[in-house]
Structure 1
Amino acid sequence: MTGQPLPEPAPSPTATDAGIPSTQRAARPRWRETLGLLARNPAAAVSGALLLLIVLVAVFDEALAPTGPNEISVEDRLQPPSLEHPFGTDDLGRDIFSRVILGAAVSLRVGFLAVAVALVIGSLIGLLAGFYGRWVDDVLMRIMDMLFAFPAVLLAIAVLAVRGPGSGNTALAIGIVYIPVFARVTRASVLGVREEVYVRASRSVGASDLRLLTRHVLPNAAPPIIVQTSISLAFAVLAEAALSFLGLGTQPPNPSWGLMLAEGRGFIDIAWWLAFFPGMAIFLTVLCFNLLGDGLRDVLDPRQRTLMAGGAR
């Protein structure tokens, strides 16, 4: 023994030094991870940005529109697109650009209300049918099958024939059409969740059905419902335009993209812009909702999510 102090042992390499993420690091919130993966999908990211822009235009429509939707100027009728009127004017001299902006609020409001009705009622029916099964499943799903047997547009027309035309009744009619779709999607998702180990464990310790449904089943069955919501919004906007085109939806003089298509078809040979710009608004909105739904489906699918997260590293 020389009395010299022993050298201090070298610090052991940490998990971070070895290239392995530290287990003590706070876990990233799931919603932030989802948004991060969604942002890496170019089509979904661009579609989401465009939809956000369309929604903002619909919210601030009156502030953004240069003129009122029904300001008539006979001397300016059927003017082609120009600096003064970017989308031209119609047969009454009304500014098409302003009417497209103001029509966004009408079309999106009907679409969101319709999907909200279908989402709440359809998801509740699918949740009860998938969780309880047996006669509850048989009764509820046979009713959904009867609604699903009707062609979508025909069923919506039948509802409007009873209720009368108008934006509110159009939203109700479209919502009734899509209730069976949400019921089926929710039921299929719940059937795959209700027998999971964590659900059976909670049931074994005496958890009530309400707690099982709200705390375990519904949150884990939500991803397909979210995807279906995005896709249904696209079809709801399209259905509102179709019903307004037939004269059963939004009534004049209120601006609506479908109604503007109907008003412009008589001038398609001499004033193409009357139908072109409302049609492009419908096309872009529906396309963005569909692309966003595809992106959400990839991100919320556990297997695809794992592949995307692994590729990001």
Structure 2
Amino acid sequence: MSGLARARRTLGLVARRPGGAFGLLVIGLVVLLALVDDWLVPGGPNQVSVPDRLLAPSAQHPMGTDQLGRDVLERVVLGASTSLQVGFVAVGIALVAGVLVGLLAGYYRGPLDAVLMRSMDVLFAFPAILMAIAVLALLGPGTRNAMIAIGIVYIPIFARVTRAAVLSVSEEVYVRASRSVGAPDARILFSHVLPNAAPSIIVQTSVSLAFAILSEAALSFLGLGTQPPNSSWGYMLSDGRGFLEQAWWMAFFPGFAIFLTVLAFNLLGDALRDVLNPRRRSLMTAGGA
């Protein structure tokens, strides 16, 4: 079976699970909004209309307006692009660096394993959001620096997950056979070890995307992430907290967008975990639970 056919079959099995179907639907909608946000909101995130300030949700403004008369729905749509961009780039940084560290540590073991994993333990010892704030204190606030900060925070998680998977795979017969015939380590790692460790990494990627989006919202809420005039769900929450009694919708709708997106990625991760488990996959393919 080709890689494309296998991916299609996996997505089909994920979609058969209620949580997986919900996750795919919500993530697909958010991605679509992020792709067409410039077309949906051609004027950008700062179309100020003072006479329309703090209008309650209505047919004209389904999510109301903020303190400057900006349409909350338009800002939520534009915020989807920022959240996904930060999430995917940050997790991409963590994925590449963490998987490389985990591969080397799990395959070579010994002193290299000890040095690499103790370094990861040092990073892992700090709470994620505090570590991200510390990195941003050095780099300065902004969307790009938030990507780097969140990426650094999640490197140890991918390193641990990859190392654990590699330790179990590296003793398999086909890996030892490749070593015995003198195959280069790079070929063994990327042709045999990594593909068989991929299921755990894929599940962790989905879960990490959820937490990366949540982390970006937290940093933007604190004024360390996305800066105005750009729109961000976290920054919108920060704006809305001062108007909770006058205009609850300013904080509710961006908060609900964060909740829904994070939930979708977590549910997708749960579905992927079941589908990529060989025993569960066999049951699902045979029509079981």
Q: Could you say which TM-score interval applies, normalised by the shorter chain? A: over 0.9
Output one character per residue of 1:279-303: Cα deviation in whole Å (capped at 9) or x when no partner. Answer: 0110110000000000000000112
Paired residue for 2:34, among 48, 55, 58? 58
Paired residue for 2:138, among 146, 157, 162? 162
Check whether the contact 1:66–1:98 (CA below 8 A) recurs between aligned residues: no
Unaligned runs of 5+ in 2: none
Counterpart-to-counterpart distance in 2, 1:137 and 1:90? 53
1:297-308 mapped onto 2 (5 Å cutoff): 297-308=273-284
Counterpart-to-counterpart distance in 1, 2:77 and 2:11? 28
Counterpart-to-counterpart distance in 2, 1:46 and 1:220? 27
1:139 matched residue in structure 2: 115
1:6 matched residue in structure 2: none
* Pair member with larger Rg: 1
SS at match of 1:141: helix
Unaligned runs of 5+ in 1: 1-24
1:201 matched residue in structure 2: 177
1:227 matched residue in structure 2: 203
SS at match of 1:311: coil
Letter in structure 1 aligned against 2:13? L
Counterpart-to-counterpart distance in 2, 1:301 and 1:66? 45
Counterpart-to-counterpart distance in 1, 2:235 and 2:19? 30
Counterpart-to-counterpart distance in 2, 1:192 and 1:83? 57
1:192 matched residue in structure 2: 168
Counterpart-to-counterpart distance in 2, 1:33 and 1:312? 16
**Percent identity (aligned):** 67
Paired residue for 1:40, among 6, 10, 16? 16
2:234 matched residue in structure 1: 258
Check whether the contact 2:89–2:147 (CA below 8 A) recurs between aligned residues: yes
Paired residue for 1:112, among 71, 81, 88? 88
TM-score for the superposition, normalised by structure 2: 0.97
Aligned residues: 289
Check whether the contact 2:15–2:24 (CA below 8 A) recurs between aligned residues: no
Q: Offset of 1:67 from its aligned partner?
A: 4.7
- Identify the structure with the greater helix proportion: 2
Paired residue for 2:57, among 78, 81, 95? 81
Q: Offset of 1:66 from its aligned partner?
A: 6.7
Letter in structure 2 aligned against 1:114? A
1:121 matched residue in structure 2: 97
TM-score for the superposition, normalised by structure 1: 0.89
Q: Offset of 1:311 from its aligned partner?
A: 2.6
Alignment of 1:295 with 2:288, yes or no, is no
Q: Offset of 1:137 from its aligned partner?
A: 0.4
SS at match of 1:255: coil
Output one character per residue of 1:140-164: Cα deviation in whole Å (capped at 9) or x when no partner. Answer: 0000000000111110000000000
Alignment of 1:31 with 2:7, yes or no, is yes
Output one character per residue of 1:106-160: Cα deviation in whole Å (capped at 9) or x when no partner. Answer: 1110111100000000000000000000011000000000000011111000000
Output one character per residue of 1:31-78: Cα deviation in whole Å (capped at 9) or x when no partner. Answer: 233122212112101210210111010011011227531011110000
Two-structure CA RMSD over aligned residues (Å) = 1.8
Counterpart-to-counterpart distance in 1, 2:10 and 2:281? 9
Counterpart-to-counterpart distance in 2, 1:136 and 1:180? 15
Check whether the contact 1:67–1:98 (CA below 8 A) recurs between aligned residues: no
Counterpart-to-counterpart distance in 2, 1:128 and 1:74? 58
SS at match of 1:220: helix
Of 38-47 and 151-160, more deviation after overlay is shown by 38-47
Output one character per residue of 1:167-196: Cα deviation in whole Å (capped at 9) or x when no partner. Answer: 000010000000000000000000000000
